[in-house]
Amino acid sequence: MSDTAPMTYREACRQALIEAMEADPRVFMMGEDIGAYGGCYAVTKGLLDMFGPERIRDTPLAESGFTGAGIGAAMVGMRPIVEIMTVNFSLLALDQIINNAATIPHMSGGQFAVPLVIRMATGGGRRVAAQHSHSLEGWYAHIPGIRILAPATIEDARHMLKPALADPNPVLIFEHVMLYNDTEPFDASVNAVDIATAAVRRAGADVSLVTYGGSLKKCLAAAETLAEDGVDAEVIDLRVLRPLDDATILGSVRKTRRCVIVDEGWRTGSLSAEIGMRIAETAFFDLDAPLRRVCSAEVPIPYAPAMEDAALPQPATIVATVRELMGRG
């Protein structure tokens, strides 16, 4: 019998960090306000007292500097976890992530590995305006040499860090800001997840909803509404944005013969566009209807609550898109 108890997404992330640091003395953390303050989202609360300032390192507001320090530490055998407060701020470290972390193993002919994990919050919904609310993980998913993870469940938030730290190449973990307070039953008997495959979160026969991160629960809510209309939606949680699990995506689409991709990134040049093109290239003749996408509006994410809600994908928008696709709009 499994030992199941409620857990928040925040606590799942925190427990993963504690487990990693207890298991390996090479693991340490760097980031803004992660020590005495306990982290912007309280994920690292109490870790300074547990592990001390040598392993929980508060940094200046200098993303390029401390990300570069993390890369250097990884190259000489440490296992750093760099926390960047929000994905928008990671743009200050783009040179380090893309031109160094992702390329050094290749440019050195394999002489150096960069076993670095970078965690960052992503997404909108918290009413903190454009510079703290964008979903840029699709940008990073464009870059060879790094693995991109987007844990959307308590179980994934708890267990994805361990295999990420074991990867010899850089791994970026995107934690959606609207998930930290989510509470779900957590099965303590589960002690591992993979970082290679997508997951079918709801089986269905009529349409595939392909999504990730903070949009997963919106798709699941939309699927419940659609079920009242007699539409059986399958929900695919990508979980891993690079490399994409084509087999799971295509297997679902070939079964349902319809697909709506839900991506909080902007539509133009988005991850949804990449997924849609892969489906078109490989499974075009399996489709009974055109591919559809639900993405964020092509604007900087607004501050005002009503405007922010209107700019982001919502269950009602997903439902309306599926109904149109099914000829029930």
Phi-psi category of 304—alpha, beta or left, where left has phi over 0 and alpha has psi -120 to 50? beta
Residue by residue, DSSP assigns 111-180 as: S-----EEEEEE-S-SS--GGG----HHHHTT-TT-EEE---SHHHHHHSHHHHHH-SS-EEEEEEGGGT
Q: Is 132 a catalytic residue?
A: yes
Catalytic pick among 32, 63, 83, 155: 63
CB 47 within 8 A of CB 34: yes
> Which amino acid, residue 26?
R
> Which amino acid, residue 35?
G
Question: Comparing C-alpha atoms, which of 26, 198, 241 is closest to residue 115?
Answer: 26
Catalytic pick among 83, 132, 134, 159: 132
Q: Is 63 a catalytic residue?
A: yes
Question: Comparing C-alpha atoms, which of 71, 36, 73 is closest to residue 57?
Answer: 36
Q: What angle do CA 27, 73, 162 make, to 5 degrees?
A: 30
Please list the active-site residues: 63, 132
